[in-house]
Chain A
Amino acid sequence: MESLRKLIQVIATLLTNGYFLFPQTKNIYQGPLKLLCSPGLNCYSCPASTTYCPIGAIQQILLGVRFSFESGSYFFSSYVVGTIGLIGTLSGRITCGWLCPFGLLQELLYKIPIGKKREVPYVLRYLKYFMLIAFVFLFPLLLTNDWGMGKPWFCKYVCPAGTLEAGIPMLLLQPDLRATLGFLFYNKLFWMFIFLIWSVVTSRPFCKTTCPLGAFYGAFNKISFIKLELVKANCTECGACAKVCPMGIQFNKDEGSAECIMCMRCMKDACQFGAIQLTYGGSSLSAQQRISKNNTV
């Protein structure tokens, strides 16, 4: 299951970053695929990016919402929020575990056998909700300059994916841009290195503490069509699920947790008793579960 997940993560990364002509054009992809939403966090100013980043798009629309309304266009990011809302309602946070390029990068860094592996303090996990509400929605909308324009706060001051996938490559492709470097870039570079180094000793620190897209998808984990469910009758509370969880949760004590990225390691690699099952719209998708049910009848 882990090999399959890794393969899907790599394919998703290649599909959302599949424009390989950028070394020749020295520019980003400008084709019609950019109408499609990248399900994971993937900067659309990355030269190879083929899709748009929902977090970037929401901020870009909200920061200019006054101009849109004045010109008679009712753009308030309903198309983008509607898209990620549909993804979240259908599949919860499964995108984080299976499709997000930045999630894959953090997982690969965590495999480096350096230093003692540590967990993040639980209180830091609430920061991502602040990022989503304040940095993605409220600040771009409400904190405006004299002309009524806001700023893309999360992209501009925090997003390490943007620095890694777009900032650094664009500086290499277009050397003229280097003359404009200042505090803004060095601040973003600082956060990028913090998260990359942190990923070596902690599993998915950005997903746990800062990712606004993960915070959004996580809100649907309890009600999404695809989800992991606990079969209480089979659970022995052995705690094996907690030992393999990359997000540091114990599934039997926190079923439907907003932290769960549905990587399914607990179900496939840890639980020996069929206590965790994958369901779609209330029906079990887990063959193992169906087999054990049939055996008991």
Chain B
Amino acid sequence: MKKNTKNTRLRFATLLPLIVFLALFLFGVNAGEPQRVLEQAWNICLDCIGIG
């Protein structure tokens, strides 16, 4: 019985962040953030690599 309760808690503890991060991901996609990420990734970030 105790083991079942622990397993249920663990499953909930896994599912909750999974749902939260999925919602965040979908919100970002809906807001058009992937395009922003793509534009950043196409440019060399001189600041990021210690130049400039």
- Measured CB to CB, the residues of A under 8 A from B are 27-28, 30, 32, 34-35, 43-45, 51-52, 56-57, 59-61, 68, 73-75, 77-83, 85-86, 88-90, 151-152, 155-156, 159, 162-163, 166-167, 170-171, 177, 180-181, 184-185, 187-189, 220, 222-225, 281-282
13 interchain pairs (CB within 8 A)? A34-B42, A35-B38, A35-B41, A56-B40, A77-B33, A78-B33, A85-B25, A86-B25, A88-B21, A89-B17, A166-B44, A224-B14, A281-B14
> Which of the residues B14, B28, B31, B41 comes within 8 Å of A34, measured between beta carbons?
B41
Residues of chain A within 8 A (CB-CB) of B23 are: 82
B33 contacts A61, C-beta separation under 8 Å: yes
The count of A-to-B residue pairs whose CB atoms sit within 8 angstroms is: 156
Number of B residues with CB within 8 Å of any CB on chain A: 36
B15-52 with Cβ < 8 A to chain A = 17-18, 20-29, 31-34, 36-38, 40-42, 44-52
B10 contacts A282, C-beta separation under 8 Å: yes
In the assembled complex, the Cα of A52 lies from the Cα of B44 at a distance in Å of 12
A86 contacts B34, C-beta separation under 8 Å: no
Return the chain A residue nearest B11 by Cβ: A282
In the assembled complex, the Cα of A225 lies from the Cα of B14 at a distance in Å of 7
> Which of the residues B17, B29, B51 comes within 8 Å of A79, measured between beta carbons?
B29
Whole-angstrom distance from the CB of B13 to the nearest CB of chain A? 4
Residues of chain B within 8 A (CB-CB) of A44 are: 40-41, 45
B40 contacts A159, C-beta separation under 8 Å: no
Residues of chain B within 8 A (CB-CB) of A223 are: 10, 13-14, 17
In the assembled complex, the Cα of A167 lies from the Cα of B51 at a distance in Å of 7
A86 contacts B50, C-beta separation under 8 Å: no
A74 contacts B41, C-beta separation under 8 Å: no
Residues of chain B within 8 A (CB-CB) of A60 are: 40, 45, 48
A167 contacts B49, C-beta separation under 8 Å: yes
In the assembled complex, the Cα of A80 lies from the Cα of B41 at a distance in Å of 13
Return the chain A residue nearest B21 by Cβ: A85
B45 contacts A56, C-beta separation under 8 Å: yes
A170 contacts B51, C-beta separation under 8 Å: yes
Residues of chain A within 8 A (CB-CB) of B37 are: 34-35, 52, 57, 61, 79-80
Residues of chain A within 8 A (CB-CB) of B11 are: 281-282
In the assembled complex, the Cα of A74 lies from the Cα of B9 at a distance in Å of 34
Chain A CB within 10 Å — which of B28, B34, B49, B51 has the most? Answer: B49
B51 contacts A171, C-beta separation under 8 Å: yes
